[in-house]
Amino acid sequence: MGRRAGSAQQEGIFSDMVAATGSTEREGWSSRSAFILAAIGAAVGLGNVWRFPTLAGENGGGAFVLFYVACVFLLGLPLVISEIFLGRTGQDDAVGSIRKVAERSGASKNWSAFGVMGVVAAFLIVSFYSVVAGWVLYYVGVMGADFASAVLSGDPLRGALVGQSQEAIQGRMGDLFGNPGLLLAMHFAFMGVTLFIVARGIGSGIETAATILMPMFFVLLVGITIYGAFVGNMGDAVAFLFTPDWSKLDPPAMNTALGQALFSLSLGVAGLITYGSYIKGPAGLGPTSVTIAFADTGVALLAGLMIFPIVFAVGLDPAAGPTLVFQTLPFAFQTMPAGALIGLLFFLLILVAAVTSSISLLEVPTAWGIGEMGWSRLTSSLVFGGGAFLVGIACLLGYNVWSEVRPLGFWSLFAEKDILDTVDDFTGKIMLPLGAFFTAVFVGWRADRKLVQEMTGLSGFWLSTWRFLIAWLCPLAVGTILITGLFPQVLGS
C-alpha cells in the first residue's frame, strides 16, 4: 500500500472504503506495459516452443502455418480483445467479471457459468502443464551436467553429449518416463516455483517474474535462431515452414490449427479475463491486443526457425511428433559447434517460457478463490496449486504404474488416451473451444454495445470489423472446431 500512503485525507477515504466493502483495494499492474509483458508471458509458452513446431512438423509445414496465422488474426485477436474487455470492465476474478458485465448489460447472471468452466479448465491445464515443464527441467539438468563436464574437461565449446549413441540419447526420455520418482520430483519443483510466484501476488510475484524472464527469453530466442542460421540449414527450414502445399491442409489439420491458435493465445480458459482485471487505467485494447497476438505468433514462427534448421542440418525427421524437442534436438546438438552450451540454453529458454505461462494458469483459479470464496491469496494459491499438483501426479503415473489406465476409455474419442493426454485433449478439444464460443457469443451479442465501445476504445472501421468477427466468424468457426473435434466422423476421418 506504499503508493497510497499520501495524504491523510486520502487514507481516511480509503479506510472508509475498506470498512464499507470489507476488503482492501484489489491488486493491479503497475503500468500498461507491465500488463502487456505479463500477457505475452502468459501467451508465449510450451504452446509456442514445443507444440507449435511439433504440429507444424506433423502437419506438413507451410499450408498449416499460413492457416494458423489466419486463425490467430481472424479469430484469436478478436477474442483477445473480448477477454481483456471482460476483465478490464469487471475488475474482479473471471466469474465475477463476467457477472458484472452481464449486470451492466441487463443480461442474465448465468452467463458467468462459462467463467466457472474457464476456471476449471485453467486448473486442469496447469496440472499437466507442470508435468511437461518437469520434463524440460530434467533436460535442463541433463544438459547442464553435460556442459559442466565440457567446461571441466577444458573444452566448453564441444558438442552435446559426446560419445553417446543416438539410441542412448533418445532412450533418456523413456528412462525418465519409467521413473515415477524422478518425474514427481521435477513436477514438484516446477509447481513449487509456480505457486511461489503466484502466492506473492500480482506486483511482486507475476509482474516481477515477467519483467525478468521475458527479456531473458527474447535474448535466448533471437540468439539461438541466429546460431541456427549459421550452423544449421535455414534454407530448408524456411521452405518447410512457408511453402504451402494446400493438399496437406485437410480438415483435421485445420481443426488442429484452430485449436492451437486458441491454446497459444491462452484463450477460452479465462486467463486474459483474469489478467485484464488487474488493468487499472484506460486500456486502448486494440493496440494492446494486437501487440500480444503479434508477439505470440512471432515467437511461434521464430521457434520454428530456431528448431528446424538444426533438425534439417543433421537430416532428422521434422515430423517426429511430441518427442521432436526432447529426443531429436539433443542428438542434433551433438555434432554442432558449442552444442553443449546451446543445448543447455535451449532448454532453459523453454523452461522460462513455461514458467510465465503456468503462473497465468494458476492465477485464474487463485483469483477465483480470492474473489468468490473470500480466501486470502496464500490460501487460494495453496489450495489450487496443491490440487493441481495432485492431479498432475495422476498424469505422470499414467506413464508408468498406471500406464493401462484410460480415464475416458468408454468414449471413442479418448479410448486410446493415457491420463495426461486425456486431460490435455479434454481441455483442448472441448473446454477451451467451448469457453471461446461463449465468450464470443456473450461479448458479440449480449454485452452492452456502449460499454463495449467505451471500454475497448475501438471505433469506426476497427469497431465494425471486430464486431463482425466476434459476433459471426468466431462463433461459427469455433463452433465448427468443437463439433468436428467431438464428432470426428463428421469429417469422415
C-alpha cell at position 459: 471505433
Report in angstroms how near the CB of residue 45 gets to ligand PHE at its nearest: 2
- What's CA 294's distance to the chain center, in Å? 15
Q: Are 361 and 126 in contact (CB under 8 A)?
A: yes
The distance of closest approach from Cβ of residue 43 to ligand PHE in the complex, given in angstroms and rounded to an integer, is: 5
CB of 263: closest distance to ligand PHE in angstroms? 5
Identify residues 108-147 at the interface with ligand PHE (CB under 6 A): 125
- Residues 343 to 362: which contact ligand PHE by CB under 6 A? 357, 360-361
Set of cell numbers at residue 128:
499437466
Sign of the dihedral defined by the CA atoms of residues 444, 448, 449, 452, in that order: negative
The reply on whether position 295 binds ligand PHE by CB under 6 A is no
Based on CB atoms, which residue is closest to ligand PHE, 49 or 160? 49
Q: Which of 27, 37, 45, 397 touches ligand PHE by CB under 6 A? A: 45
| Binds ligand PHE by CB under 6 A, chosen from 35, 41, 48, 59 | 48
Q: Compute the chain's Rg from CA coordinates.
A: 23
Q: Which set of grid coordinates corresponds to residue 466?
A: 471486430
- Compose the 246-285 pattern: x for residues touching ligand PHE by CB under 6 A, - for all others: -----------------xx-x--x-x--------------
Least distance (Å) between residue 356 CB and ligand PHE: 9
- Binding flag, residue 60, ligand PHE (CB under 6 A): no
Using the structure block, give the residue that is written with the C-alpha cell 499460413: 66
Cell of 254: 485445420
In the list 27, 36, 38, 47, the residue contacting ligand PHE (rule: CB under 6 A) is 47
Site size toward ligand PHE, by CB under 6 A? 15
User: Which residue is nearest to ligand PHE, using beta carbons?
Assistant: 47
Residue 46 interacting with ligand PHE (CB under 6 A): yes
Angle at alpha carbon of residue 362, lines to 50 and 28, rounded to 5° = 115
Cβ–Cβ < 8 Å for 355, 193: yes
The backbone torsions φ and ψ at residue 448, rounded to the nearest 5 degrees and listed phi first, read: -60, 130
Residue in this structure with the C-alpha cell 473471471, named with its chain if needed = 94
Shortest approach of ligand PHE to residue 133 CB, angstroms? 10
Neighbours of 400 (CB within 10 A): 13
CA dihedral 285, 288, 293, 299 (to 10 degrees): -170
Distance CA 411, CA 414 (A): 6
**SS3 assignment, position 288:** helix
Residue 256 or 360: which CB sits closer to ligand PHE? 360
| List of residues contacting ligand PHE (CB under 6 A) | 42-43, 45-48, 125, 263-264, 266, 269, 271, 357, 360-361
